[in-house]
Homo-oligomer: A and B are copies of this chain.
């Protein structure tokens, strides 16, 4: 029993179901699913003085794939967007749930849904899949960016269904490195334009030679226009200058 604690717990089987605590009080299957989200492609969201945006690295370069079909930024409603990291089909289930929720809100209350209600619903669903047996957790990190009235708000939720509100955040591959840079350089008075430039520069720095603007897509919502603007590939060159 001189194995490191991780391997001991693997050997003891504490990591076989999402509903079992390890002797240290961890849910190891949840930790493993968390790794899956880190295998996913990265995206960064930012609250700016004049709105909010998400930049996503689609990371797909197969020329047989129609680029738009590999988009990682989803429209939840005309004022809310989302990006995901992890198993794409898992994410689609959650995105579709969010879209339905937003539509129900419009029909029931005749008003746009608050972005936090979206992340809370998604997070509650995620929580259930870590507490009840018979299914595996959703292997998805999810960012929700949207307008609460004319206040831009950014949320992100992890595997367990914990969520926070962020000024800026990153999910997927290299998330920690990206957040480190954001902590360093984010200013609340950044405009969308300047923020986008900043994020693209951060990606350049972190990805080095592998950086390829063509793989990226951007969606932003301007406080005054209140509609989603989308750009991808070569259209992004203006933002990168």
Contacts and interface: CB of A to CB of B under 8 A. Distances in A.
Interface in A28-51: 29, 32-39
Interface in A1-44: 1, 3, 6-7, 10-27, 29, 32-39
Nearest to A65: B164
Contacts of A25: 32-39, 139
Nearest to A23: B32
Contacts of A163: 69, 89
Contact of A127 (B7, B19, B93, B168): B93
A215 interface: no
A174 interface: no
B16 A13 contact: yes
A64 B5 CA distance: 32
B10 A12 contact: yes
Contact of A20 (B17, B123, B165): B17
B92 A21 contact: no
A183 B65 CA distance: 10
Contact of A63 (B70, B124, B183): B183
A204 interface: no
SS class of chain A's interface: helix, strand, loop or mixed? Answer: mixed
Nearest to A62: B183
Residue in A26, A27, A64 whose Cβ sees the most chain B Cβ within 10 Å: A64
Contact of A179 (B14, B39, B64): B64
A10 B179 CA distance: 35
Contacts of A92: 120, 123-124, 127, 161
A15 B88 CA distance: 21
A68 interface: yes
Contacts of A64: 166-169, 179, 182-183, 186
Interface of A: 1, 3, 6-7, 10-27, 29, 32-39, 60, 62-66, 68-70, 87-90, 92-93, 96, 120, 123-124, 126-127, 129-139, 155, 160-169, 179, 182-183, 186
